Amino acid sequence: MKINYIYSFVLLSLLTLFSSCSDFLNEEDPNSTASGNYLKTENDVSKALAGVYLAIRHNDCLGESSTLYTEERSDNTGRNDNQSNAGEPFQFNDFSLLPSNSYLKKHYVALYDAVSRANYLLTYIDQAKIENADNKKKYIAEAKFLRALVYFQLVRKWGDVPLATTYFETYQDVKKNTYREKQELVYAQIIADLTDALDSKLPNIQNEAGKGHTSKAAINGLLGQVYLTMATRFESNKQENLQNANKYLSDCYTMRTFGLLKEIPYGDVFDVKKKSTCPEIIFQIVYKQGDKDYSSSIAANSQAEGETINSQKKTKGGGTFVKPDLVKEYEEADVRKSFSVKYADNANAKSWFITKFRDTSDAAGTLGHGGNDWILMRYADVILMLAEVNMYLGNEAQATSYLNEVRERAGIPTYQEMQNDALYKSKYPTLKLAILHERRVELAFENQRWFDLLRFFNSDELVQYFRAKSQDDYGVSSLANFGKKDYYYPIPFDEWKLDPEKMWQNEGY
């Protein structure tokens, strides 16, 4: 008998785990007992790991359409339609999010689905016969990396969250472990998982055949970002966290297979023909061009009516609405602007839309079955985090050197030269704000902006930052709605009502 999912930890049916089925949320009766006997061979373990990657790929988890939960939460994109089916998505950028929002719940469920799949592999892998010990360590390393990646999403979006590191077979196990754990302990688990993952023979960088799988560069990059986030979130051990952030981000940087960023044209990073060979990309979700089930739709979905720059597919409406607030942030002659955004003059659009993701090939065709991979980590991101951490450590010369590496690729003057530009100085009076600006225009629409805002500002500062913006440059979403409560998401209503004491609601909801 099928039931509706209402619990934090997904009790996966083995049929779903070992197939390529995309229906992750229609689960078997959780009162039935799952068995670890299904992991008998190395091939079984390989399929279980593929199941974790498949969960990550889901649009309600970290796939290309997960921009609803990050980009549309930020000041980059949004919706100018707040009616009918658009009403619930509109809440994210309007800062009127309700705990009963069904999209919020789907995201929460999908993230814990991925956690549960990783836990299944890690709990039962010892029962499988794997001859090569290094292979076993690699399976474990990949599963721990993916679990850490998901918990890093959860803890930044909700704060204290349920923490599970074993697979739960029964309803009783789920109920006993459904409570919000302090975020400091969640971060500790993330660090433990990533540190363990480094102790493996994963390659520094995946070869073309391995794209879509993690690597030591990706693990180091994520570990550096976690330590950097902790340094800005917690006063305790701040200097130690900054030093660790610098170490792991530097380790990631030294694993690159190119010299300076300027060697890689900005457009190459998003070129579907080069997605498996571009040396800037560290970790990506792979999409299959031309396949109706596993292709990318981001190029077509982003495109405005009357436009052909992204896709052969004819689209309607305004495409993905880009806020003028972002468009005005691009500097004159920045090559990233003309590549990333365009103004649609069609009567049904009359707005800026995303052009960063393109596939106009015949293989993608008029149905828009594109081949764009979804990039979760690339070197420009790592370089700008190195600028950030060195700025915090007081190494301003090193910080500006990293910042300039990114600016040089974009074809714009150095940070030092821009100190003579009155407009630039007025908009970005500090190195910190200059780095935040650079991250915004470099990584626009890549699910980084919201997390950057959380890292650069505390809740009071973030309210001030949003309230200072022009409503005219923001769209129909209301900036006046933004408050301290919006630093975190609300716990989904169905999760809270299971146990209001253990699953207490975030302040303001």
Average the pLDDT over 205-225 and give the result.
97
Q: What are phi and psi of 353, to 5 degrees?
A: -135, 165
The pLDDT of residue 287 is above 80: yes
Q: What are phi and psi of 394, to 5 degrees?
A: 90, 5
Spatial separation of the C-alpha atoms in residues 283 and 213, rounded to whole Å? 7
The pLDDT of residue 30 is above 60: no
**What was the pLDDT predicted at 12?**
42
How would residue 15 be classed by pLDDT, with cut points 50, 70 and 90? Answer: very low
**What was the pLDDT predicted at 10?**
45
Tell me which of 175 and 104 has the higher pLDDT. 104
Count CB neighbours of 84 within 10 A. Answer: 7
What six digits make up the tokens of 142?
């990949």
The answer to whether the 2-267 and 379-485 domains have the same CATH topology is: yes
Round the average pLDDT of the chain to a whole number and report it: 92
pTM to 2 decimals? Answer: 0.93
Average the pLDDT over 133-156 and give the result.
98
**What was the pLDDT predicted at 3?**
33
Question: Residue 402: how many CA atoms within 13 Å on its side-chain side?
Answer: 27
The pLDDT of residue 28 is above 50: no
**What was the pLDDT predicted at 114?**
98
Average the pLDDT over 166-192 and give the result.
94
**What was the pLDDT predicted at 81?**
74
Average the pLDDT over 292-305 and give the result.
97
379-485: CATH architecture: Alpha Horseshoe (1.25)
Question: What is the third-level CATH fold of 2-267?
Answer: 1.25.40
Query: CB-based burial of residue 194 (10 Å sphere; 0-12 exposed, 13-18 middle, 19+ buried)?
Result: buried
Q: What is the helix (H) or strand (E) element at residue 248, kind and residue range?
A: helix 238-254
Looking at the chain, the whole-number percentage of residues with pLDDT higher than 70 is 92
Looking at the chain, the whole-number percentage of residues with pLDDT higher than 90 is 88
Spatial separation of the C-alpha atoms in residues 463 and 95, rounded to whole Å? 11
The pLDDT of residue 332 is above 50: yes
Average the pLDDT over 15-39 and give the result.
45
Strands lying side by side in the sheet with 321-322: 77-78, 321-322, 351-354, 341-344
Spatial separation of the C-alpha atoms in residues 362 and 272, rounded to whole Å? 12
How would residue 499 be classed by pLDDT, with cut points 50, 70 and 90? Answer: very high
**What was the pLDDT predicted at 178?**
92
Please report, for the chain, the start and end positions of each structural domain, with discontinuous segments joined by +: 2-267, 287-322+330-372, 379-485
